[in-house]
Amino acid sequence: MNIGIVGLGLIGGTIAKSLKNKHYITGYDISKDTIDYALENNIIQKAYNNLNDFFNDNDIIFLCLYPKSMINFIFRNKDIFPKYSIIIEFSGIKKSVISEIESINLDNVDIIYAHPIAGSEKVGIKHSNEYIFDKANFVITPVETNKKGNIDLAISLAKEMGFKNVSLITPSDHDDIIAYTSQLTHVLSLSLVNSLSSTLDTSKFIGDSYRDLTRISMINEKLWPELFIKNKAALLNKIESFESELKAFKGAITAEDYKKLEEMMVKSTTIRSKIAKGDKNDS
């Protein structure tokens, strides 16, 4: 199968590396340096400057762009997509993205809205690695216009890329869950790092807990503001829930309420154990 990738960054490069032994992989990127690197390192087999040729020569297109850029890309090129094109977009939010794309009124183009729950704090094709997808989770949010055969194709390609579990959920459910499991965790990590007030050399006191909690604070500052704001309602709801829990811990510590602290810790252990059991069962 001929597979084209628009946006050869961390994720686009990882798609190429994970599929290149089974398919013919081509790429399109506005950065000449990125294209040159992809060709020199055999990450893709062919690069395109002409989008008409790129669209016509490929059986399926992966769009790996930031949400705003992706929507603009689709709008600019809506008249040159071949009929019956299959496009898989890889943005980290769905409801607002789908709404904006559906307003473009694309005829005879099937866009599959997908999200690889995998990544890295690093950016760019030089950090792409097929192991990023290995045993990770993959989500598809079907819409009414999707053809079942194209959804099945997206699932098959996800499995080929190494994902262990593919879930089909609604766009709203996706955004609600991602607001908690991904966006809130990034907000917490950023807040923890930015709250540093010690004048001591903190690096001499770092253990696994701080290291694990703050790895994702080394963040792509161009992408994540888009994700936060385009999923604003769901994310603010999760932040408010967290603030309530944090306030409860603050109150128990202030009151030196050992029993309350123990109860909250037992509760979190129970919840986290169930999550870990489900994750293990999916392995």
Q: Note the pLDDT tens digit of each residue in 2-37.
A: 999 999 999 999 999 999 999 999 999 999 999 999
pLDDT at residue number 275 = 85
pLDDT at residue number 282 = 57
Does residue 114 carry a pLDDT above 80?
A: yes
Does residue 281 carry a pLDDT above 70?
A: no
Separation of CA 186 from chain center: 13
DSSP one-letter code for 49: S
Portions of the chain given CATH number 1.10.3660.10: 174-281
Does residue 279 carry a pLDDT above 70?
A: no
The domain defined by 174-281 carries CATH number 3.40.605.10: no
Q: Note the pLDDT tens digit of each residue in 132-163.
A: 999 999 999 999 999 999 999 999 999 999 99
Bridge partners (DSSP) listed for residue 35: none
pLDDT at residue number 118 = 85
Pairing type for strands 24-28 and 60-63 reads unpaired
Portions of the chain given CATH number 3.40.50.720: 2-169
pLDDT at residue number 45 = 96
Structure confidence at residue 270 as a pLDDT band (50, 70, 90): very high
Domain covering 2-169, topology: Rossmann fold (3.40.50)
Per cent of the chain over pLDDT 70 is 98
In the sheet with 60-63, reading across from the earlier edge strand, the strands are 46-47, 24-28, 2-6, 60-63, 85-89, 109-117, 137-140, 165-168
